[in-house]
Homo-oligomer: A and B are copies of this chain.
Amino acid sequence: MSLSTVSMEEPSVHDQVYESLAEALIQGRFAPGKSVSLRTLAHQLGVSAMPVREAVRRLIAQKALELQPSNKRLRVPSLSENRLQQLMLARQWVEPELAYRAVAHITPDIIAQLKSDDAQLMAALAEGDVDGYMQANHAFHFHIYRLAEADLFLDMARSLWLQSGPFMRAVFGRLNAVQLPQDHHLELIAAFEREDAEAVRRHMSEDVHEGMELMMEALKAAE
């Protein structure tokens, strides 16, 4: 009962719905352009429409969903080169900055966590398990970003991943689980271990850049 009153605060239904939708979007389980509906989502999640409406508003504000101006109907934003390029530039700015700031707060526990994430990532890659790969990659990156103690930047990164998710699906839809450069992850971990902030920034920049470049190529190839 000591700290239970503090940690007792069970998340609201709205938060649960939001997390559920956010996870689906980040892992690319929603196809770009796919239309969704409040009542359908509410029914699937076993709640009323009310909390779904609020979660969806939140996602729209983060540009992870959109309301088509004509219909006023809800859907996952579709892909465009312009959009992807903005995502790429924004991610290349904010994520290296977050990683840089994370160095000051790194601990052996986190290093171990990152190694575990990377191991899961490589295992998923070996099996061709796209979902597993996406999940492990997300965990790896945000276990780092959370250390930065920069909640605004963290939120920006989260929003950018929400928007990138559907693109990723499109990439892996074409080239099924290509050889992603997880070497950057190993170099990142090494840089964290010797607390070399500049190297961390550089390797994170390269990791993001390569990933987004891959998506850009896939998008162009798909015309």
Contact = CB atoms under 8 A, between A and B. Distances in A.
A134 B83 CA distance: 30
Nearest to A53: B54
The A contact surface, by secondary structure, is helix
A153 B90 contact: yes
A interface residue count range (under 10 / 10 to 19 / 20 to 34 / 35 or more): 20 to 34
Contacts of A155: 63
Contact of A62 (B61, B90, B153): B61
A107 to B, nearest CB: 20
Interface of A: 9, 53-54, 57-63, 69, 82-83, 86-87, 89-90, 93-94, 97, 149-153, 155-156, 163
Given A9-B69, A61-B62, A82 B150 contact: yes
How many copies are assembled? 2
Contacts of A86: 150-153
B63 A61 contact: no
16 contacts: A9-B69, A54-B54, A54-B57, A57-B57, A57-B58, A57-B61, A58-B58, A59-B61, A63-B152, A82-B149, A86-B152, A87-B152, A89-B97, A90-B94, A90-B156, A156-B156
Nearest to A101: B86
Nearest to A163: B152
A60 B54 CA distance: 11
A156 B90 CA distance: 10
A151 B80 CA distance: 12
Task: Give the 4 A-B residue pairs with the shortest CB-CB distance, closest first.
Answer: A61-B61, A86-B152, A58-B61, A57-B57
A213 B78 CA distance: 39
A152 B83 contact: yes
Contact of A60 (B58, B97, B156, B163): B58
A153 B82 CA distance: 11
Residue picked from A57, A93, A163, most chain B C-beta under 10 Å: A57
A152 B90 contact: yes
Nearest to A160: B152
